[in-house]
Structure 1
Amino acid sequence: LRDLLPYPREEREAWVSLHLSLKASLHLLLGEKVARAYDRLLRLELKNQRSGKRAAYPEAKSALLAAKRWVEAIGQAKRGQKVDLEGLPTAPHHVLPYAREIRAAASALGIPYGVLAAIVDNEQYGGDKALGLSRGVREAADSLAQGLAEVQGHAPLSRTLGLAQMSWEDALKQQDRLRLFGAWDPARPFPKTETEARKALEDPYLNLLFTASRLRGYFNALLGLPPRDTRLLDDPWLYYLGPAWHNHPLRAQNLETWEDSFHGFFKGLLYQVVLEGRWHLEGRTLLPLKAWGPGAQDPAPSSLPTLTP
C-alpha cells in the first residue's frame, strides 16, 4: 500500500495507519471477508489514481477520508445507534420505503440485498443531484417514451426506467432465469413487448426483480459459475461488482473506479446492515426504531434507583 501513497514518509505512514484501522474495524464489524474486500477496493482506487485510469478521487487521502466516513456510519448502524449520514452521497429516503421489495427481490435471486439497495440509492441519488438527466427531465422522457411505445410499438429514447433505472430490453431477456429460480409468478404473463416491459418496470417490485435477475447473470459469469447456477451468493466483492456493472459495464470490465462503484460498495455494506432492522430517517440521520409489545426484548437495567411505595 505504501507504494500507492505519494506522500512524505511521516504523512504516508499516517494514511497507512488509517487504512489499517478501517480494515480492522470492518473485520470486527462484518468479518474478515468484508475487510479484505475493502482492502481490495482501496488498492484498486489508488492504483487507478496512479495509472491515470478513471478513479473516484483525484488523490489517495480523499479516498481514505471518504472510506473513514462510510465505516463510521456502518459501525453506528451495526451497533444500533443513530447513523449520521451528513456528507455521504446517499439517498436513503428513496431506499427505505422499498425495503421489503428490495429484500424480496434480492432473496429471490440469491444475492445480498445490500447490493440491490446500493443500486437503487445510486440511481436515485443521481436523479436528485441531476447527474446526467435531471429527475424531472428523466421522468418526462419516460412518460413520452411510454406513449411512443404504446402508439408505435417502439420508443427511440429513455431505454431505462423505474426505481433501479432498469433497461426494458434487458428486462425482456430475464424470463428463463426468473423461472429457473422460481421467482416469477406463473399466473402473471411475462412481458413480450417494449410496452409491456415498460409497464412492468413501473412496478417497484418487478423493477427490482428484473434488476436482480440481470445482476445474477453478471455474477455467475464473473465468478466463473455455470449460467444456471442457483446457489446463494455472499461474496463481499459483490458490493463492488453489483453497482459497478449495473451502472457502467465497460468501466467495470476495465477495473475502473468511479463515484457509483466506489461509494456503491460502502452503500451496499451499510444497507445490508440497515435493512436487517427498522429505521426512521430524520434529515440526514437514521434513527433505529425499537420494537414494543409481545416478544420485544426487555429494556436494559437502569442505573437509577427504583422507587417503590
Structure 2
Amino acid sequence: MLQRSLALLLVLLASWTAPGHRPQAEGLRAYLPYPPAEREALVRRFLAAKSSAHLLLGPQAARAVAELLRLELRNQAEGKRSAFQTPKEALEAAEAWLSALGQARRREAVDLRGLPTAPWHVLSHQEEVRKAAHALRIPVGVLAAIVDNEQHGGDKALGLSRGVREVADEAALALAQSGPAPFSRTLGLAQMSWEDALRQRPRLERFGAWDPARPFPETEKEARAALEDPYLNLLFTASRLRGLFNALYGLDPADTRPLEDPWLYYLGPAWHNYPFRAQNLETWEDSFHGLFKGLLYQVLLEDEVLWRAQGQLLRPVRRYGPGLLEARGKTPGLEP
C-alpha cells in the first residue's frame, strides 16, 4: 500500500507545473475552424515550423515554439488577446523568425526586416547582457529579448513597452504632486522599476553577483542612479527575473542552479512586460516575438563570432580565437 501511494505521489509530482507556467498541449485542429483543405494546410505549416526549430535548435526549443504557436492559435479561436488576427499571420511571423535563426546558425547575414526588433540596442550592450545573465544563471537570450522589446517599444511613437510606460510615468509624476503616484517609474535599458531594484539585495548576494565593495542602493535616489548604469540595470532585472522563474518552476527561492529551459524565452519577456496578461496565458506582440528574439539572441550572443548591426541587417564581423579573446569585451561599430 505504501509503495503504491509513493508511486502515485511521484506521478503527480512529475506531471505538476506551476500556474501560468506552461499552456496545456491540446489538439491543434480544435483551434482551426476552417474548411478541411485550409485547415490541413495550416497544420502542415505548423509542423514544418516545429521541424525547422528542431533542426536548428533541438527538441526543447522546438517544443517551446510549438507551445507558443498553439497558445496563440487557441487565443485567436477563443477570442482572447492574441498577437495576430489569423493563424496565417502567426505562422508567417514564426517562419520569418526561423529563417533569421537559420541565417544566424549558418553565420550568414541575418535579415530582420519586417520584424519588430531593434538589435543595435542589444548589440551595443552585449557584454553587459552576458555578464548580468550569467551572474543569475539564466539564459542570455532572455535578458537580450527584454532589452530589445523595451527599446523597440521606445523607438516607436507609442510602443507597447517603453513608450507606454513613459507616458504612464509622466502621469504618475503629475499625480504625485497631489497624492501617492499609482505607477513606479521604470528606467534604463530594461525599464526596471527602482522599487523592485531595492528588493534585490538578498538574491544578488546569494548568487555572489553583487560587488561587496560597492554600496547597495538604499533610497529611491540611489536606486535611480544605479539603474542609469547599463550593467546594474540589467543585473537588477536579471535578479528579478530569477526570482520569478524560481516561483514559476516551483523551485525554492534560494535555488541557484542554472536554468536553461527554452520556454524561459517566452516567460521572461511576457512577465516583464505585462504580468497580468502572462498569468492569463494571453499573447501579444512583446510576448510572441519575445520568444523568438530570445532564441535568436541566445545564438548571437553566445556565438564565437562578433555581430554588427546595420539597421535591420546583422552581419558577422569576425571569429574569436587565439589573440582575439580580448576583443570579446569590445563592441563593434553599430549603425542604427
TM-score for both structures, normalised by structure 1:
0.87
Distance 1:155 1:6 in 2: 46
Partner of 1:280: 308
Cα 1:36–1:293, aligned 2, differ >3 Å: closer, same or farther?
closer
Partner of 1:187: 213
Partner of 1:126: 153
Once the two structures are superposed, residues 48-98 of structure 1 have per-residue CA deviations (whole angstroms, 9 ceiling, x without a partner) of 111111111111111111101001001110111110111000000111010
Once the two structures are superposed, residues 190-245 of structure 1 have per-residue CA deviations (whole angstroms, 9 ceiling, x without a partner) of 10110000000000000000000000000000000000000000001100000001
Cα 1:69–1:174, aligned 2, differ >3 Å: closer, same or farther?
same
Distance 1:254 1:293 in 2: 46
Once the two structures are superposed, residues 258-298 of structure 1 have per-residue CA deviations (whole angstroms, 9 ceiling, x without a partner) of 111000000000000011231111232110112388568xx
Match for 1:236 among 262, 266, 276?
262
Is the Cα–Cα contact under 8 Å of residues 141 and 158 in structure 1 kept in the other structure? no
Moved over 4 A (4+): 132-146, 154-158, 292-296
Distance 1:134 1:56 in 2: 14
Is the Cα–Cα contact under 8 Å of residues 162 and 191 in structure 2 kept in the other structure? no
Is the Cα–Cα contact under 8 Å of residues 156 and 163 in structure 2 kept in the other structure? no
Match for 2:125 among 84, 90, 98?
98
Is the Cα–Cα contact under 8 Å of residues 117 and 149 in structure 2 kept in the other structure? yes
Cα 1:19–1:132, aligned 2, differ >3 Å: closer, same or farther?
closer
RMSD across aligned positions (CA): 2.5
Once the two structures are superposed, residues 125-176 of structure 1 have per-residue CA deviations (whole angstroms, 9 ceiling, x without a partner) of 0001123599799779989999xx9xxxx98766111000000100000000
1:7 CA drift (Å): 2.2
Cα 1:257–1:293, aligned 2, differ >3 Å: closer, same or farther?
closer
Partner of 1:306: none
Aligned to 1:290, the other structure's residue is in SS state strand
Distance 1:166 1:132 in 2: 16
Aligned counterparts, 1:158-197, within 5 A: 159-197=185-223
TM-score for both structures, normalised by structure 2:
0.81
Cα 1:294–1:179, aligned 2, differ >3 Å: closer, same or farther?
closer
Is the Cα–Cα contact under 8 Å of residues 158 and 164 in structure 2 kept in the other structure? no
Cα 1:187–1:285, aligned 2, differ >3 Å: closer, same or farther?
same
Distance 2:161 2:254 in 1: 38
Aligned counterparts, 1:6-85, within 5 A: 6-85=33-112
Is the Cα–Cα contact under 8 Å of residues 108 and 316 in structure 2 kept in the other structure? yes
Distance 2:287 2:160 in 1: 19
Ranges in structure 1 where 5+ consecutive residues have no aligned partner: 297-309
Ranges in structure 2 where 5+ consecutive residues have no aligned partner: 1-27, 325-336
Distance 1:61 1:69 in 2: 12
